[in-house]
C-alpha cells in the first residue's frame, strides 16, 4: 500500500538560508505523527508546505501519489497555536463560514435550505468538540481551551483527511491540555483522521503520536549557520508497549529516542 502523503527530497530555502534539506517522508493514512525539534528547525515551514500554503524550493510532495497543487485543498485542515479563528464571528458563525467558503466560493454566503443545512452541520461539529452550549459566544468571550476547540471544529467542518496542528495546545494550562488530548484522540478515531502535530512538549508527542519525528540539523557550519538545513534525524514508530513505558517515565530524553 502506498503512503497517503509522501515527501521526496524536499528542500525549503529562504534566500540563501537553507531551512529544510533532503526531507524524505512517507506518512500512512490513519497515523498520528508528532513532530518535535528545536526552535527554528523548520517545523512550521514543513507544515506550511504540506498545507500547500508554500511551495518547497525543490522536491515533490505527493498526496495519494499525485503531486500537491499549490493551494490549500479541502483535504487538509490546520490549527495554529493561536489566532486560527475570526474574532468578529460567533462560534457558529466561524464554523458556518468554513462551509460557505467551500460551497459558495465567490460570495461566501449561503441562503435558504443550504444555509440551514450548513448551520445544522456546524452545530453538530461544535457539539463534537464540546462547544454545544457555546454556539453564540464570540472568541473574546471564550477561554483559550474553548478557542482551540473552535479552531478544531472550523478545521474539521470541511472533513479534511489530514489535520495539521502547529503547537495547538502550547498556550494552554496543563489541566486544560489533558482535556484537549482526550478530545483530539477521540476526533482522530471518530473521523479516521491522519494527524501531523508539531509540539514542544515531548511527553505530549509520545502520549498522542503513533510516530515521533525529530527535525534537526545533521551538520552545522559554525561560521555560516544558514548553510545547512534540518531534516528528519530520528523517526520512531511507537508501539503500544513503548507508549505505556514512555508515559510512566518522568522524563524522556532524545538519546532514548535515538537508541530505540
Ligand X SMILES: Nc1ncnc2c1ncn2[C@@H]1O[C@H](COP(=O)(O)OP(=O)(O)OP(=O)(O)O)[C@@H](O)[C@H]1O
Residue 41 touching ligand X (CB under 6 A): yes
Select the binding partner of residue 14 from Mg ion, ligand X, none (C-beta < 5 to 8 A, by kind): ligand X
Q: Which is nearer to ligand X, 115 or 200 (CB)?
A: 200
Q: Specify the long-range contacts of residues 180-185, CB closer than 8 Å, at least 24 apart.
A: 180/145, 180/148, 180/149, 181/207, 181/208, 183/129, 183/130, 183/149, 183/152, 184/152, 184/208
Residue 205 touching ligand X (CB under 6 A): no
**Residues in 137-196 that interact with Mg ion by CB under 5 A:** none
Mark 24-43 with x for binding to Mg ion (rule: CB under 5 A) and - for no binding.
--------------------
* Nearest Cα residue to 236 out of 200, 210, 211: 211
**Residues in 7-36 that interact with ligand X by CB under 6 A:** 14, 19
Residue 44 touching ligand X (CB under 6 A): yes
Q: Which is nearer to ligand X, 14 or 83 (CB)?
A: 14
Beta carbon of residue 82, minimum distance to ligand X (angstroms, whole number): 12
Residue 103 touching Mg ion (CB under 5 A): no
CA distance 120 to 208: 30
Residue 57 touching Mg ion (CB under 5 A): no
**Contact window for ligand X (CB under 6 A) among 41-49, 58-66, 98-106, 142-150:** 41-49
Beta carbon of residue 48, minimum distance to ligand X (angstroms, whole number): 7
Residue 161 touching ligand X (CB under 6 A): no
Could you tell me if 151 and 85 are in contact, meaning their C-beta atoms sit under 8 angstroms apart?
A: yes
> Which residues, including other chains, have CB under 8 Å from residue 256's CB and lie 6 or more apart?
none
What are the C-alpha distances in Å from 112 to residues 7, 100, 116, 119, 157?
Answer: 43, 13, 6, 11, 19
What are the C-alpha distances in Å from 150 to residues 101, 141, 153, 229, 242?
Answer: 17, 12, 5, 35, 32
C-alpha grid cell, residue 146: 474553548
Residue 217 touching ligand X (CB under 6 A): no
CA distance 90 to 102: 19
Beta carbon of residue 47, minimum distance to ligand X (angstroms, whole number): 8
Q: Which is nearer to ligand X, 200 or 243 (CB)?
A: 200
Beta carbon of residue 166, minimum distance to Mg ion (angstroms, whole number): 6
Residue 231 touching ligand X (CB under 6 A): no
| Phi, psi torsion values for 245, nearest 5 degrees | -65, -45
Residue 238 touching ligand X (CB under 6 A): no
Binding residues (CB under 6 A) for ligand X: these are 14, 19, 37, 39-45
Q: Give the residues lining the site for Mg ion (CB under 5 A).
A: 44
Amino acid at each position: 500500500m502506498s503512503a497517503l502523503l509522501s515527501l521526496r527530497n524536499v528542500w525549503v530555502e529562504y534566500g540563501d538560508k537553507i531551512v529544510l534539506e533532503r526531507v524524505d517522508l512517507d506518512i500512512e493514512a490513519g497515523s498520528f505523527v508528532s513532530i518535535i525539534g528545536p526552535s527554528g528547525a523548520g517545523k512550521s515551514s514543513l507544515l506550511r508546505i504540506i498545507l500547500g500554503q508554500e511551495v518547497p524550493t525543490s522536491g515533490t510532495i505527493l498526496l495519494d501519489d499525485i503531486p500537491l497543487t499549490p493551494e490549500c485543498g479541502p483535504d487538509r485542515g490546520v490549527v495554529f497555536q493561536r489566532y486560527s479563528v475570526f474574532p468578529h464571528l460567533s462560534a457558529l458563525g466561524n464554523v458556518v463560514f468554513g462551509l460557505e467558503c467551500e460551497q459558495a466560493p465567490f460570495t461566501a454566503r449561503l441562503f435558504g435550505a443550504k444555509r440551514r443545512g450548513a448551520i445544522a452541520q456546524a452545530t453538530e461539529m461544535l457539539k463534537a468538540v464540546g462547544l454545544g452550549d457555546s454556539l453564540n459566544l464570540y472568541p473574546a468571550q471564550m477561554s483559550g481551551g474553548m478557542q482551540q476547540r473552535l479552531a478544531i471544529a472550523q478545521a474539521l467542518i470541511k472533513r479534511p483527511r489530514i489535520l495539521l496542528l502547529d503547537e495547538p495546545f502550547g498556550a494552554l494550562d496543563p489541566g486544560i491540555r489533558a482535556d484537549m488530548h482526550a478530545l483530539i484522540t477521540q476526533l482522530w478515531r471518530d473521523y479516521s483522521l491522519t494527524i501531523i502535530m508539531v509540539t514542544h512538549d515531548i511527553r505530549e508527542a509520545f502520549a498522542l503520536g503513533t510516530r515521533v519525528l525529530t527535525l534537526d540539523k545533521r551538520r552545522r557550519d559554525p561560521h555560516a549557520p544558514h548553510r545547512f538545513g534540518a531534516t528528519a534525524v530520528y523517526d520512531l514508530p511507537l508501539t503500544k508497549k513503548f507508549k505505556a513505558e514512555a508515559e510512566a517515565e518522568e522524563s524522556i530524553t532524545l538519546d532514548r529516542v535515538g537508541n530505540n
